[in-house]
A = this chain, B = another copy of it.
Amino acid sequence: MNSAGKPHRSGRPRTGEERLSRDAILRAALRIVDDEGVEAMTMRRLAATLGVNPMSIYHHLPNKAAVFAGLAELVFADLEATAARDDVSWQDELKDAARTYRDALRSHPNLALQILSDTSTVSDVVVVTVEPFYRALDRAGLAPRQIFEAVNTLIDFVHGFLLGETTVRAATFELAPDLLDRVGKLPPEKAPTLARVTQELGHDGLAYDFDSGFESALTVFVNGIETTWT
């Protein structure tokens, strides 16, 4: 894509002729991650696609970790505005907050694991994202402590769900046949209930649909919060 090109001469470029910017670097990095995954996003590779010396990047971002932190920022920049909505029940508002959060993380699946496993990124993101959850549960009439715990639980669930969704989906779109095989091969008395239930479900029943799995979880959640705390 980027013609090998004659090497640019050294020295500071004239004003307005800067070849790089933090933003341009991050956009290029996001493209690499989206197209080829996190492992492909190396500093040298990034520099190559920008047609630039690897070391040039370090004038705009201190190191590779900062590049990934910047990517997380980029992804969540859009999400910020979520209007309060009193037209729906608190239950629906809570579910909707979870759906929005899931979608945001899902929009760049290759980045999800990176985001979820980086402490500072997660806490940034959470602070920005979490208001709608708090609002819904406040409307439900929960006490502060209960709101706090309920939100943590729900967010943790979404994280775990995304972990499965992004890594499993990447590897095997169908996990049903694999699962049936595995269970079939287990020593019969080791997991009798698992064996019976999966067999009753059959091949089609195991064709896991992430969307309906997510919705089903949300329902369990909301009902659980309702009967536990209201």
Contact = CB atoms under 8 A, between A and B. Distances in A.
A191 B131 contact: yes
Interface in A126-178: 127, 130-131, 134-135, 138, 144-145, 147-150, 152-153, 155-164, 167-168, 170-172, 175, 178
11 contacts: A113-B117, A117-B117, A118-B167, A120-B171, A123-B182, A127-B179, A152-B164, A153-B216, A156-B161, A159-B164, A223-B224
Q: Is the interface of A mostly helix, strand, loop or mixed?
A: helix
A193 interface: yes
Contacts of A192: 131
Contacts of A190: 80, 131
Nearest to A185: B127
B160 A156 contact: yes
Interface residues on A, range: 35 or more
A197 B148 contact: yes
A1 interface: no
A83 interface: no
A4 interface: no
A107 interface: no
A28 interface: no
A110 to B, nearest CB: 12
A224 B223 CA distance: 5
B213 A153 contact: yes
Given A127-B179, A213-B152, A117 B163 contact: yes
B138 A197 contact: yes
Residue in A134, A175, A179 whose Cβ sees the most chain B Cβ within 10 Å: A134
Contacts of A120: 171
Nearest to A229: B220
